[in-house]
Amino acid sequence: MMVDAPATMIIRSVARRVGRPAPFVLHPLCQRALLSTGTTTTTTTAEKMATGISAGEPRAQEAAQGAVPVAAPVAGRAAWGQRRRGAGQPDTIAQDYIAMTRLQRKTLRLGSAVERRYVPGDLLRDPPAPRDVTLELLMASQTHMGHHTSLWNPANARYVLGVRSGVHVIALEQTAAHLRRAARVVEEVAYRAGLILFVGTRRGQMDIVVRAAELADGCHLFTKWTAGTITNRDQILRKAALRIVDENDVETDGGDGLVSDLRPLVPDLVVVLNPLENHVLLHECAMATVPTIGVIDTDADPARVTYAIPANDDSLRSVGVIAGVLGRAGEMGKKRRLRDAADGVVAWTIPPDLAKLMGRAPTEDDEDGQVAGIGGLRRRNWLLQAGRLF
């Protein structure tokens, strides 16, 4: 006789294996996702019911063979609705905080501190002086990174330290030495009231050259160079403004009649931040015997400039540091010139064009000579300057 048994819940574990049980224990959160349940209706015979086998025996057998129970507790984790600490244990939050602060005080002096942080605006607001040039500064400014070895100019072999990942590495000792030499040249030209032109025509170099020219009291160029500005200056710069100043850089009266008869000025020194794009400018400077300073990368020709500075010309930070150092050098030379002029020491002489218009060339002993038609200033204390010619 067949007897219908009530519906029974049978649990089948997908984590079971045929044979030995699984050696790992599932997390309780994963058990509900990995265990499937189903409801079936079974029929038993009277003989099986007599033997005492109940519907819950398969579940007990599975648990005995190693199956993971559905709600197995996890060690170290409190059950839902219970506190981690026992009711009789004291709260140690205050003690833990005191111990943490004590440990922080003990380890406060350990490790390293970054004292000089890089701020991009500092290169324009407060550029470094020539005495502040260090190898660490040049390394941080990426001046050592050259171009790929297939693009190099063999004339730069003396400036190359080695090769890394197919890129030439510029020796920072060479960069520092040549940068200090160029800064000395800029300082002496500014001390002798020379006209310095800063050129940077790449994108992003406008603020750099303007700031350097402002410090050195020179001129700047951040657009394309007009061919013939030096070699054919009588035509291109015929409407350029000129002014006459004294040894204290104060514009004088009475020289308007002479300015109109003077030729346009030629810069006494040209600083080029990207020589590759300004080869026409460098050629004109060479024809007019104007000294030049250039940032020479591994793919440039150092013979095109008078004073080469081996460095990376593609990084704005690199050219910003170099232009800032040269601008500071020009500022130092200008301050030294004005300080000596206040004491009566003048380190420059009158330009030949102005001396010719005055009637005769100046001499060292003619400090008290009167200049006809201008107003009684000392002859050798006259200087021509350009009012933003370029």
pLDDT per residue as tens digits for the range 85-134 = 555 677 788 999 999 999 999 988 888 777 777 787 888 889 999 999 99
Distance of CA 312 to the CA centre of its chain: 12
Average pLDDT, the chain: 78
pLDDT tens-digit map of 229-261: 999 998 998 888 887 787 888 877 655 666 777
Question: Is residue 321 predicted with pLDDT exceeding 50?
Answer: yes
Residue 365 lies in a domain: no
- Does 9 lie in the same domain as 139? no
Do residues 127 and 216 both lie within one domain? Answer: yes
* Within a domain: 115: no
Instruction: Based on the fold, state whether residues 160 and 44 are members of the same structural domain.
Output: no
Provide the strand spans (E) within 103-204: 145-148, 160-164, 167-170, 196-199
Q: What is the pLDDT of residues 335-344, one digit of tens each?
A: 999 999 888 8
- In a shared domain, residues 316 and 171: yes
Outline where DSSP puts E strands in the chain: 2-4, 8-13, 35-40, 43-45, 145-148, 160-164, 167-170, 196-199, 219-221, 242-245, 269-272, 292-296, 307-310, 383-386
Domain-embedded: residue 141:
yes
Which of 19, 45, 64 terminates a domain? The answer is 64
Angle among Cα 380, 386, 390 to the nearest 5 degrees reads: 150
| Residue 169 confidence (pLDDT) | 96
Same domain, 157 and 285: yes
Report whether pLDDT(328) > 70.
Answer: yes
For the segment 208-215, the average pLDDT, to the nearest whole number, is 95
Instruction: Let me know whether 136 and 225 are in one domain.
Output: yes
Does the residue 43 lie in any domain?
A: yes
Does 82 reside within a domain? no
Helix (H, G, I), strand (E, B) or coil at 191: helix
Overall average pLDDT of the 136-151 stretch: 94
* Total domains present in the chain: 2
Residues 157, 23 share a domain? no
| Residue 208 clears pLDDT 60, i.e. is over it | yes
Confidence band for 379, pLDDT divided at 50, 70 and 90: very low
Q: Which of 40-44, 106-110, 180-184, 381-385 has the lowest mean pLDDT?
A: 381-385
Asked if residue 280 belongs to a domain, the reply is yes
User: Residues 342-361: what's their mean pLDDT?
Assistant: 71
- The pLDDT score that the predictor gives to residue 24 is 57
Least confident of 300-314, 341-355, 362-376: 362-376
What number is the average pLDDT over the span 144-167? 94
The pTM (predicted TM-score) of the whole model is 0.65
pLDDT at site 372: 34
Q: Within a domain: residue 287? A: yes
Residue at 202 is within a domain: yes
Look up the CATH number of the domain holding residue 328. 3.40.50.10490
What confidence score (pLDDT) does residue 327 get? Answer: 96
Query: Which residue among 331, 348, 365 closes a domain?
Result: 348
Verify that 126 and 54 share a domain, yes or no: no
- Same domain for 152 and 24: no
Q: Are residues 50 and 140 in the same domain?
A: no
- Whether residue 316 is predicted with pLDDT greater than 60 in this model: the reply is yes
So what's the pLDDT on residue 373? 32
Residue appearing with tokens 């406060």: 108
- Mean predicted confidence (pLDDT) in 158-171: 95
The mean per-residue pLDDT over the stretch 172-195 comes to 95
Which range among 16-30, 181-195, 348-362 has the greatest average pLDDT?
Answer: 181-195
**Where does the pLDDT of residue 215 fall: very low under 50, low under 70, confident under 90, or very high at 90 and above?**
very high
Q: Is the pLDDT of residue 296 over 80?
A: yes
Note whether 79 and 31 are within 8 A (CB): no
Q: Please, what's the b/e burial string for 149-160 (b: 16 or more CB within 10 A of its CB; e: otherwise)?
A: eeebbeebeebb
Quickly state the pLDDT bin for 185 (edges 50, 70, 90): very high
Residue 328 and residue 127 in contact, taking contact as beta carbons nearer than 8 Å: yes
Regarding whether 273 and 179 lie in a shared domain, the answer is: yes
Mean pLDDT check: name the lowest of 67-76, 140-149, 350-359: 67-76
pLDDT average, residue stretch 19-47: 56
The last residue of one of the domains, among 27, 48, 64, is 64
pLDDT digits (tens, 9 = 90+) for 49-99: 444 445 455 555 554 555 545 455 555 555 555 555 555 677 788 999 999
Q: What domain range includes position 41?
A: 2-64
pLDDT in tens, 266-286: 999 999 999 999 999 999 999
